[in-house]
Structure 1
Amino acid sequence: MVELPGQIRRMSGGISQLVEQICGFSRKCLFRVLSMGPLPIHLAFIMDGNRRYAKKLGLEVGSGHKAGFPALMSMLQYCYELGIKYVTIYAFSIDNFNRRPEEVQYLMELMLEKIKSLLEKESFAHEYGIRVYFIGNLALLSDQVRAAAEEVMKVTAKNSKVVLLVCVAYNSTDEILQAVKKSCMNKLGDRDVERIQLVDIEGNMQMSVAPDPDILIRSSGETRLSNFLLWQTGNTQLFSPDALWPEIGLRHLVWAILNFQRSHSYLEKKKKQL
């Protein structure tokens, strides 16, 4: 008896669904074991290696960034399933505007597409109750991208389960500079205060909406911070897997958390000494 193509498709779909259920159950068991130890409250990611991934596979410029998006979605899902409250991603540096115009244009178009997808009712932001912040000098973005980012922040403002911070048109020196400027402006006319205090600057940092990261994961084996969260990562554990960003997966996240748990007591003691 010859099986019909429709039947084959249904069988294939059923098998895929079964495999997905098994993977989901296995991941749930793994996360339960991990949760027996201390878990990070805030994870930050530098998504490095997209261009090298495209070059490695002989793909066109920008294809590596597109290939990296599913990796980002998977990583966000793992973090939220683990119960990690804050996730920060380095999406686009101010320095990236110096890249070739066609690459910048492609990245802006891709960013606009993905930002708009966050406004859809079935998006992961609504599914997980995520509040989204866009951190950076948004005035440097195109009008369309900036308007879409502001709309997402407005629409998700009432979500409170988890927080996603997207650093775009961002670098740390610019964030610090803007915080100092705001602190000075706030002190104008205040004759009782002779100088700017540390608390003033920290309160005006855009990243003040989240605690400092516990773990910073940078893919592709690089150990540089690249002007990312310099103010906030003084006691952050750095993890740098060799995998390029589109290749990053669950095992890398698990290793990062295990390393964090192994040194957690030491890091806590260091924080108390400050």
Structure 2
Amino acid sequence: MPEPRLKLIDSSPTRAAGPPPRHLAIVMDGNHRWARARGLPGASGHRAGAKNLKTVAQACADRGVEFLTLFAFSTENWQRPKREVKLLLDLMRGVLTDDVDELNRKQVRLRFVGERSRFPADLQRLMGRAEQKTRTNTRLHLTIAVNFGGRWDIGQAARALARAVRDGDVDPDEITEEHFGRFLSMADLPPPDLCIRTGGERRLSNFLLWDFAYTEFYYCDEYWPDFDEERLDHAFADFAARQRRYGRRMEERAGAS
């Protein structure tokens, strides 16, 4: 049986010296490979990943993260084997049936972004009920991206903006980046400060293409079910040590402060 990948954690302090990212995005990758490395069926990896989602969300809330956005199901995931897609949808049903009350008690606001119409009607209803039940919570804003893709989001925003121009609500000569951004799925949230991707891959995989303009990235080899609080703290410490320039030189940043 293949050995699981080793964690590559250095000996530096893992608790961040500065504040955590206000908005954290995570690409939860590696569930199937985690299971395969242990000689388990792929379903076991997805179940372990769903369990770890709750653990990491709690850890983020405990550390003061205000907004957590998770890439759970992409527009490309429909191309996976039908059996795997069914399992993923069943896991979503399970979370929405069994865990929403706990999220509500912990003051977590849950919402979904993405094109929902392709999901079964019962799953769409469960999403809506979860959003309604947790809508007034303020401790952690947990956004789950489902049937979501960055290109899809930009496309639907462009169509919405085109309709606004057609209806006379927007002057095309006055359209700015900020104006366009109001039509995106994440328009009411601050852009992510940090994106963590597990599983060893170094790519965006069509996630928040517009929103990631100035986001910092942290890649690790751990598969998602193995991503624990120690690695989360390491990611936050790494983030706290960075100097975010937003396209400017550091002396320009210092002069503006």
TM-score (normalised: structure 2) = 0.86
Give the percent of matched residue pairs that are identical in Structure 1 and Structure 2: 28
Whether contact under 8 Å (1:80, 1:128) holds in the other structure is no
Query: Matches of 1:119 and 1:61 in 2, distance apart?
Result: 25
1:97-176 map, 5 Å? 97-120=78-101, 123=102, 125-176=103-154
Residue identity matched to 1:107: L
Q: Does 1:218 align with 2:184?
A: no
Distance 1:194 1:98, change over 3 A: same
Shift, 1:108, TM fit: 0.6
Higher helix share: 1
Deviations 1:76-119 (A, max 9, x none): 11110011100000000110001101110111111111112233
Deviations 1:100-153 (A, max 9, x none): 011101111111111122333xx1x12321111101001111111111001111
Report the secondary structure of 1:168's partner residue. Answer: strand
Residue identity matched to 2:230: R
Deviations 1:194-225 (A, max 9, x none): 34432232101111121111111110111111
Distance 1:137 1:265, change over 3 A: closer
Which structure is larger by alpha-carbon Rg, 1 or 2? 1
Distance 1:94 1:258, change over 3 A: same
Counterpart position of 2:222: 243
Report the secondary structure of 1:208's partner residue. Answer: coil
Query: Matches of 2:42 and 2:129 in 1, distance apart?
Result: 29
Name the Cα RMSD after superposition: 2.2
Task: List alignment gaps of at least 5 residues for structure 1.
Answer: 1-29
Deviations 1:160-218 (A, max 9, x none): 22200000010110011111111111222328713443223210111112111111111
Deviations 1:31-71 (A, max 9, x none): 9x63x513210111101000101111121232211011222
Task: List alignment gaps of at least 5 residues for structure 2.
Answer: 1-12
Counterpart position of 1:230: 209
Report the secondary structure of 1:78's partner residue. Answer: helix
Deviations 1:241-262 (A, max 9, x none): 1111111111211111111111
Query: Which protein, 1 or 2, shows the higher relative CO under an 8 Å CA cutoff with sep ≥ 6?
Result: 2
Counterpart position of 1:83: 64
